[in-house]
Copies of this chain bind each other. A is one copy, B any other.
Amino acid sequence: MLKRKKQNKVDPHIRSLIKIVGESEILYKPEDLISYDCDGFTVHKALPKAVVFPKNTEEVAALVRYCHMNHLPFLARGAGTGLSGGAIPLNEEIIISLVKMKQLLCVDYENRQAVVQPGYVNLKLTNSISDKGYYYAPDPSSQYVCTIGGNVAENAGGAHCLKYGVTTNHILGLEVVLPHGEVIQIGGEGAPDSPGYDLMGLLTGSEGTLGIVTKITVRILKSPQGKKTVLAYFDDVEEGSRAVSDIIAAGIVPAALEMMDKTAIEGVEAGTFPVGHPPDIEAFLLIEVDGIMAGLEEQIEQILEVCESWNVREVKVAKSEEERSRWWANRKTGFGAMGAISPDYLVQDGVIPRSRLPEVLKEIERISAESGLRIANIFHAGDGNLHPLILFDSRIPGETEKALQAGTACLKACADVGGSITGEHGVGIEKKEEMRFIFTEEEIEAQLDIRDVFNPYDLLNQGKLFPKPSRCMDVKKIVKDTVAVQS
């Protein structure tokens, strides 16, 4: 009797969800939910109502239909590596975790496609096809753990997106569960220009607000015949950034063109993969070219020449794949390594026209001085994607707020030179208000109208991606919809 009574205490919604996914595939006790209170953006935390682990599209659709019919807020989650809080439950959401949908469903080498489930880990794809000489290009730093479903939601980039483009350039088709539970297929036929509206582009990077992706057809690429990697040390950040502009101006399209400043270098040298960068340099460039072997030598020569012309202190070409890998491991620990030199850090993510780097770096220095917080800079220099890393100590009262303010100021500096508030980490809850730096109310309203098409009750990932529209927009909307008779 007692046992039965206990069972009855379980929320009826939870019982319904159990019917869909099975008892073993749901977490709902507070102690089990703690690991789901945030993603890689740890500033804000809140518990979901439950976390469910569907095994296939049908279960996802059934879960979504249930939430839709019962007006329960819900959201999808991959590996939880997102950096802008896109998977944080703000309204006691049901979290639909996709980590158990992790199959590589098919590889079609002849037509260069692979089909994966959303919970499939990014790097696993390359590992599965590399013996045949293929790879999957988008390579976010978290690629050894992040999922391709999450990559689609965030339109993830990576160090090599300069030459190869971001996730949206590598997605050929999607199966999507819409917020009312209907399943649609988009793209997939490999057309360079798919007929109708570009729903695939719309869904990709929509940060989980338009639908839940349950199957993904991606483009796979033939591994380049060769790669050459250069490490160049500069005594002056501005000279380093001038070298970046000149490399691009020379017509070279490097596969990657990364820059780190002194504080960032201090971090990676204190991290898991130090490589012995000189401690007193102001910046390094990590430059990689790939392609047909015969053309690489000439490109490397041109790169070295450009670096020399900007007074590079030292420049070296990786002598082996092992050395190249070490340099990249060192670079890829860039964010995490900040933990070695600071109790806490906040990653920011702005975009600037490449040519404006020196002045933006000066403004970031000013922000650093004003806030009293150190700021390291990691820069996907080739495409102008700047990551200021704001170092702080959350145990010191007020310092978290200071860090957040400094982050916002960095984004404002990017927007002020005609840049953007995010290059690859998304908006999530972190940068909702900063959307106003680059969009007018009308432009935000146009995007919200699109969200309403897919997600009319705003049950899917509520409170993400957009600031609350100002009151005056409601008035404007009425005006816009009023159709007068003859002017």
Residues of A bordering B, CB below 8 Å: 16, 65-66, 68-71, 109-112, 133, 154-155, 157, 161, 165-166, 168-169, 178, 180, 182, 184-186, 188-199, 201-202, 204-206, 210, 222-225, 245, 248-252, 291-299, 351, 353-355, 383-385, 415, 418-424, 426-427, 431, 435, 438-440, 442-444, 446-447, 449-454, 456-457, 465-466, 480-481, 483-487
A157-B193, A192-B383, A292-B298 provided; 7 other pairs, C-beta below 8 A?
A69-B483, A112-B248, A157-B192, A168-B198, A192-B424, A195-B431, A295-B295
In angstroms, how far is the closest chain B Cβ from the Cβ of A459? 10
User: In the complex, which residues of chain B have a beta carbon less than 8 angstroms from the beta carbon of A415?
Assistant: 189
The CA of A83 and the CA of B66, in the complex, are separated in Å by: 46
The CA of A295 and the CA of B70, in the complex, are separated in Å by: 61
Report whether A191 and B480 are in contact in the complex, using a CB–CB cutoff of 8 Å. Answer: no
Contact A69/B251 with A196-B465, A419-B190 known, Cβ cut-off 8 Å: no
A-B residue pairs in contact (CB < 8 Å), sample of 7:
A110-B353, A168-B198, A189-B438, A190-B384, A196-B444, A199-B450, A252-B292
Report whether A204 and B195 are in contact in the complex, using a CB–CB cutoff of 8 Å. Answer: no
User: In the complex, which residues of chain B have a beta carbon less than 8 angstroms from the beta carbon of A483?
Assistant: 68-69, 71, 457
User: In the complex, which residues of chain B have a beta carbon less than 8 angstroms from the beta carbon of A426?
Assistant: 193, 195
A-B CB proximity, top 5 nearest: A295-B295, A201-B201, A222-B251, A191-B420, A292-B295
User: In the complex, which residues of chain B have a beta carbon less than 8 angstroms from the beta carbon of A297?
Assistant: 294
The CA of A483 and the CA of B422, in the complex, are separated in Å by: 36
In angstroms, how far is the closest chain B Cβ from the Cβ of A72? 10
Report whether A70 and B447 are in contact in the complex, using a CB–CB cutoff of 8 Å. Answer: no
User: In the complex, which residues of chain B have a beta carbon less than 8 angstroms from the beta carbon of A65?
Assistant: 487
Report whether B351 and A191 are in contact in the complex, using a CB–CB cutoff of 8 Å. Answer: yes
The CA of A133 and the CA of B351, in the complex, are separated in Å by: 26
The CA of A206 and the CA of B111, in the complex, are separated in Å by: 27
User: In the complex, which residues of chain B have a beta carbon less than 8 angstroms from the beta carbon of A190?
Assistant: 351, 353, 384, 418-420
Which residue of chain B has the shortest Cβ distance to A427 in the bound complex? B195
User: In the complex, which residues of chain B have a beta carbon less than 8 angstroms from the beta carbon of A384?
Assistant: 190
User: In the complex, which residues of chain B have a beta carbon less than 8 angstroms from the beta carbon of A252?
Assistant: 292
User: In the complex, which residues of chain B have a beta carbon less than 8 angstroms from the beta carbon of A185?
Assistant: 440, 443
User: In the complex, which residues of chain B have a beta carbon less than 8 angstroms from the beta carbon of A161?
Assistant: 192
User: In the complex, which residues of chain B have a beta carbon less than 8 angstroms from the beta carbon of A191?
Assistant: 351, 385, 419-420, 422-423
In angstroms, how far is the closest chain B Cβ from the Cβ of A33? 23
Candidate in A70, A161, A224, A427 with the most chain B CB atoms within 10 angstroms: A70
Contact A385/B192 with A68-B483, A180-B480, A198-B198 known, Cβ cut-off 8 Å: yes
Report whether A450 and B197 are in contact in the complex, using a CB–CB cutoff of 8 Å. Answer: yes
The CA of A296 and the CA of B439, in the complex, are separated in Å by: 44
For A291, give its contact among B222, B291, B353, B431 (CB under 8 Å): B291
Contact A193/B450 with A222-B251, A480-B182, A487-B66 known, Cβ cut-off 8 Å: no
The CA of A154 and the CA of B383, in the complex, are separated in Å by: 27
The CA of A70 and the CA of B487, in the complex, are separated in Å by: 7
User: In the complex, which residues of chain B have a beta carbon less than 8 angstroms from the beta carbon of A249?
Assistant: 109-110, 222
User: In the complex, which residues of chain B have a beta carbon less than 8 angstroms from the beta carbon of A485?
Assistant: 70
The CA of A205 and the CA of B160, in the complex, are separated in Å by: 27
Report whether A193 and B205 are in contact in the complex, using a CB–CB cutoff of 8 Å. Answer: yes
For A351, give its contact among B192, B197, B198, B205 (CB under 8 Å): B192
The CA of A354 and the CA of B110, in the complex, are separated in Å by: 8
User: In the complex, which residues of chain B have a beta carbon less than 8 angstroms from the beta carbon of A427?
Assistant: 195-196
Report whether B487 and A16 are in contact in the complex, using a CB–CB cutoff of 8 Å. Answer: yes
The CA of A60 and the CA of B457, in the complex, are separated in Å by: 35
The CA of A252 and the CA of B291, in the complex, are separated in Å by: 9
In angstroms, how far is the closest chain B Cβ from the Cβ of A99? 24
Contact A420/B195 with A70-B486, A291-B295, A480-B182 known, Cβ cut-off 8 Å: yes
User: In the complex, which residues of chain B have a beta carbon less than 8 angstroms from the beta carbon of A69?
Assistant: 483-484, 486-487
Contact A422/B292 with A449-B453, A487-B70 known, Cβ cut-off 8 Å: no
Report whether A355 and B486 are in contact in the complex, using a CB–CB cutoff of 8 Å. Answer: no
The CA of A184 and the CA of B299, in the complex, are separated in Å by: 41
The CA of A415 and the CA of B355, in the complex, are separated in Å by: 46
Candidate in A155, A422, A446 with the most chain B CB atoms within 10 angstroms: A446
Contact A355/B202 with A69-B483, A195-B427 known, Cβ cut-off 8 Å: no
